[in-house]
Amino acid sequence: MSGWPHLRSSRTVRAGFAPGTVVTCGVTDTVIADVPVSVVFFFGHPLDEDRLAEGLATALAAVPGFAGRLRTTGDVLEIVCDDSGIPFDTYDLDETLPKAIGRVTLPGADFVDHVQAPAARQGGLPLLTVRLTHLSDGTSALGCSFHHSVGDLSSFMFLVRTWSAATEGTVAPEITLLTDPDAFLDSVLPPTDSGRPGFRLPTPEQAERLGAEFEGAVRANRTVQVYFTDAEIAALREDVSAAAGQRLSVNDVLCGHMTSVVRTLAGDTEDERSIAMPVNVRRFLGLDAGVIGNLVGEMYVTCPPDASAAAIATQIRAAVDDFPRAQLNLRANRAFLESIGRSRLRECVPVGFDPDRRTFTITNWSRFGIYEVTFGGKQPVFFSPTSNLQLPWVSWIVEGFDNRGLLFTIAVPARLATALRGPAGRAALHRYRDPAEELPALAGEVRKLA
């Protein structure tokens, strides 16, 4: 075993029967249908590919959309639950766990087979891929990529939890499948919302610049991962809450701190900047956590020039507290669609993706049970988003090593990435860390962790 990954086996995993259910994709599902979501679970022990494949087949029977295929009927995108299945490939790689973790965010890191999201719209391509990599030190990397039209991270994690339960012989979670998400939302949404749509129709000039951002993303941008310990987060929360004069959440203060530090290091303190934060709306609408689909809204706040961490965090807290009235925008999205016509929906982009204005998009993936997943009797030792396209100002929050602390992953222009990883950047990022604090063993071994 040497060099680049060596293919050990390849198979297609199916549930074994096709329910034939057709899911009519809603507005949100369609707007984000060009987006793959790719993640990697790292385990400190070898995983059995045969057991994983058997458990996955059971999970696909419970959540059949992931094993189906897309089709476009007129202007409507649909998911056909035909049990076409998913590719599951197993590789060997002459690399240790710390080295693998250290390069997981690099384009072409080879731990995931990224779903071909735009091409999948026309059918025939998988909506989920799985790649298991056996590392040379007896550890494993389980890489998954799924098509965003099937569901959000919550939906994917219910599939993974069901997969884990089938593999380990434990009780699977309760799941609710939707065949018409927009009709379902009609029955649970309040009659009015913020009135501000979460996506926009760019001008031809803006569309050209956005296209250039996509084309140049790999060359121009780098992904930086910043690890915060539990004690560091507690100190940050206490200090920022005191400065704000109110009790703030971990998410509030971490987003405020990171936004403030990044803007300062970038020398970007003269103009207003905004933060877009995708929000799981299930709890706001009183829905079960196991409803499968894209039950995601967006919170949007604009910060004044040179805003402090406390000022930003306070704005985020106010937006969360007033979310159903002032931030919920699912009806506004539908109204916007009606105004432009469904045929133009594919031209739209999320409001949060606006590199011209350096709008931050911060997605919080913590508290989704990522480190509760069990395969082979043990939980992951590390988890990370990954991508073959590093779009600037896009970031994620997730629990850190062995479910300790938090990991903030952000893509920024290359020069700023160097500054964040340098001495001044680390000092600003970790001003609340006790220098004597002992970090998790893996954190100390991973190269380029800020």
**Domain C-terminal end among 139, 157, 185:** 185
Say if 113 falls within a structural domain.
Answer: yes
Q: What percentage of the chain has pLDDT greater than the value 90?
A: 86
Q: Which helix (H) or strand (E) holds 56?
A: helix 49-62
Range of the domain at 78: 6-185
As a whole number of angstroms, the distance between CA 29 and CA 121 comes to 11
Together in a domain, 204 and 139:
no
Together in a domain, 261 and 369:
yes
pLDDT at 225 over 80: yes
pLDDT in the model for residue 239: 98
> What pLDDT band is residue 3 in, cutting at 50, 70 and 90?
low
Say if 1 falls within a structural domain.
Answer: no
Burial of 99 from C-beta contacts in 10 A (0-12 / 13-18 / 19+): middle
Most confident of 258-272, 336-350, 365-379: 365-379
Together in a domain, 101 and 139:
yes
Say if 67 falls within a structural domain.
Answer: yes
As a whole number of angstroms, the distance between CA 164 and CA 172 comes to 8
**Residue-wise pLDDT tens digits, 5-47:** 999 999 999 999 999 999 999 999 998 888 899 999 999 999 9
Together in a domain, 247 and 385:
yes
Taking residues 346-361, report their average pLDDT: 90
Together in a domain, 111 and 220:
no
Together in a domain, 260 and 318:
yes
**Residue-wise pLDDT tens digits, 41-87:** 999 999 999 999 999 999 999 999 999 999 998 889 999 999 999 99
Together in a domain, 17 and 92:
yes
Together in a domain, 426 and 392:
yes
**Domain C-terminal end among 154, 185, 216:** 185
Say if 191 falls within a structural domain.
Answer: no
pLDDT in the model for residue 232: 98
Say if 195 falls within a structural domain.
Answer: no
pLDDT in the model for residue 1: 42
Q: Full-prediction pTM beyond 0.85?
A: yes
As a whole number of angstroms, the distance between CA 328 and CA 190 comes to 9
Phi, psi of 394 (to 5 degrees): -105, 135
Q: DSSP state, 291?
A: B
> What pLDDT band is residue 139 in, cutting at 50, 70 and 90?
very high
Say if 207 falls within a structural domain.
Answer: yes
Say if 192 falls within a structural domain.
Answer: no
> What pLDDT band is residue 327 in, cutting at 50, 70 and 90?
very high
Together in a domain, 358 and 276:
yes
Taking residues 138-145, report their average pLDDT: 98
Q: How many domains does the chain have?
A: 2
Phi, psi of 186 (to 5 degrees): -55, -30
At 118, which CATH number? Answer: 3.30.559.10
Together in a domain, 232 and 164:
no
Say if 450 falls within a structural domain.
Answer: no
**Domain C-terminal end among 152, 185, 218:** 185
Together in a domain, 372 and 436:
yes
Together in a domain, 150 and 255:
no
